[in-house]
Structure 1
Amino acid sequence: MKFSRKLHPNPEGDGLKSAAEIALERAADAPESEGEPESVALPRAELDRLRAEAAKAAEHWDRLLRVQADLDNFRKRMAREKQDWIKSANERLLSALLTPLDHFEMGLDAARQSPSLEALLDGMRLVHSQFHDALRAQGVTEIEAVGEPFDPSRHEAVAQQESEAPEGQVIQQLRKGYRLHDRVLRATRVIVSKGPSQGSPAEGKAAPAADRRDESGEI
């Protein structure tokens, strides 16, 4: 801003003041601003739009909170249902094992009263059969092993032996394995074939020399 050099009377001096001096005096006498921004009046349409956006945001937030609460309740319900299912499955299995246990105890009582070994064996066979029936009813079956190709997902190899069976074939079962439907409960512990034994090359070459020595007495 350029100040005018227009002169005004100066009572304290020579009676003349410039326009710049007068402007400076007025600025000094003016009250100091407190630094607060002046309020700006928004158009009514803009104000209505902002209010609508705020209401929509609040509605979305409330909806998000309800969805989160529903999800938490769903997770808790699923956890309870899973525990109930596990308890129910255990109850069915244990109830199925009670009958073989009853017959096993009856067999023990009969063995105490009768020294007959055959009667004891019959009782054990009955209990063994009932145990297998109870397991099969729950979807538990034995894993085939002997004569099968070794499968690390179903078999646990503890040793290898030479045999006439092809290499990698299970030749002996040490402990039975079981599966529940398609899931392995316990792998079958087995011994796997190395294949038939073979003589070393040195032994194969020594035989003709021995034959010649037998015929002529010299090599």
Structure 2
Amino acid sequence: MQESNKPQTDEQELISVNNEVNEAEASKERKAQETESQVEIMPSMEELLREAELKAAEHYDAWLRAKADTENIRKRAQSDVTNAHKYAIEKFSSELLAVMDSLEAALVVENATLENFKNGVELTHKQLTAAFEKFNIKSIDPKGEKFDPHQHQAMCMVESELAPNTVTQVLQKGYMLHDRVIRPAMVAVAKGKDT
């Protein structure tokens, strides 16, 4: 009976070895298929290099365009600033043209009387005052006010009944543009009786 068991064991061993060989071959085939699929999925180094070069070229092109846009904006801004400085007083100048027209009209009149000249000068003064008001140019006429060195320029000191450091006389009006003094008023200032 022992002999009958032996062939079965050999047969079982053979089946078992056969199964192992089949599994090993199947495993090899699976690994080969996985490797092939990985090879298909993973691009070659040349393809990666080509893609990187294309992306670099795109980025370089975008950078050049951005640089050109920035340069154009800078030039445009510089031109705008230059024009703003150059033509800043254009509106004010056009307002002064009416004043100039009035003065030229007065010079053309041949048989003018003193009264006509006075009326013409008053009209011209009104036009100039209106232009100044439109552009926030205000006169500084500080007679009777306390002397302010930021707005007034003392030309002389005179004895007066007024308190010391009070403006007694305005020799020439000053002018302000908004809150900035563009010409201080030239004034005479009261000095104390003791000095």
TM-score, length of structure 1 as denominator length: 0.54
Gaps of 5+ in 1: 1-58, 200-219
State the alpha-carbon separation in 2 of the partners of residues 75 and 169 from structure 1: 52
SS of structure 2 residue aligned to 1:132: helix
How far 1:106 sits from its partner (Å)? 1.4
Q: Percent identity?
A: 36
The separation in 1 between residues aligned to 2:168 and 2:114, in whole angstroms, is: 32
Q: Deviations over 1:177-217 (max 9, x none)?
A: 1011111111111111103x359xxxxxxxxxxxxxxxxxx
CA distance, structure 1, for counterparts of residue 194 and residue 179 of structure 2: 39
Give the aligned partner of residue 93 of structure 1.
92
SS in 2 for 1:153: coil
Aligned to 1:189: 186
Change (3 A) 1:79 1:184: farther
CA distance in 2, matches of 1:81, 1:181: 24
Which residue identity does 2:132 align to in structure 1?
A: L
Structure 2: runs of 5+ lacking an equivalent: 1-58
Report how far residue 73 of structure 1 moved: 6.2
- Separation in 1, partners of 2:79, 2:163: 51
- The alignment status of 1:124 with 2:150, answered yes or no, reads no
Counterparts in 2 of 1:171 and 1:73: CA distance versus 1, 3 Å = farther
Provide the alpha-carbon RMSD of the alignment. Answer: 3.1
**C-alpha separation between the residues in 1 aligned to 2:74 and 2:170?**
45
Amino acid corresponding to residue 160 of structure 2 in structure 1: S
Please say if 1:151 is aligned against 2:148.
Answer: yes
Q: What's the offset of the Cα at 1:148?
A: 1.4
Structure-2 separation of matches of 1:188 and 1:79: 37
Mapping of residues 62-81 of structure 1, within 5 Å: 70=70, 76-81=75-80
Counterpart check, 1:134 vs 2:131:
yes
Q: 1:76 to 1:148 in 2, by over 3 A?
A: farther
Aligned with 2:89: secondary structure? helix
1:17-96 matches, within 5 Å, as: 70=70, 76-96=75-95
Alpha-carbon distance change, 75 to 119 in structure 1, aligned in 2, over 3 angstroms: same
2-side partners of 1:99 and 1:134: how far apart? Answer: 9
Give how far 1:157 is off: 0.6
CA contact (8 A) 2:172 2:186 kept: yes
Letter of the 1:113 counterpart:
N
Task: Work out whether residues 141 and 170 of structure 2, in 8 Å CA contact, stay in contact via their aligned partners in 1.
Answer: no
Q: 1:75 to 1:180 in 2, by over 3 A?
A: farther
Tell me how far apart the structure 2 counterparts of residues 192 and 73 of structure 1 sit (CA, whole Å): 57
Residue 113 of structure 1 corresponds to which residue in structure 2? 111
Aligned counterparts of 2:75 and 2:184: Cα–Cα separation in 1: 35
User: Structure 1 75/186 Cα, relative in aligned 2: closer, same or farther at 3 Å?
Assistant: farther
**Residues 158-177 of structure 1 deviation map (CA, whole Å, 9 limit, x = unaligned):** 11111011111111111111
Q: How far apart, CA to CA, are the structure 2 residues paired with 1:191 and 1:140?
A: 23
Distance 1:104 1:147 in 2: 33
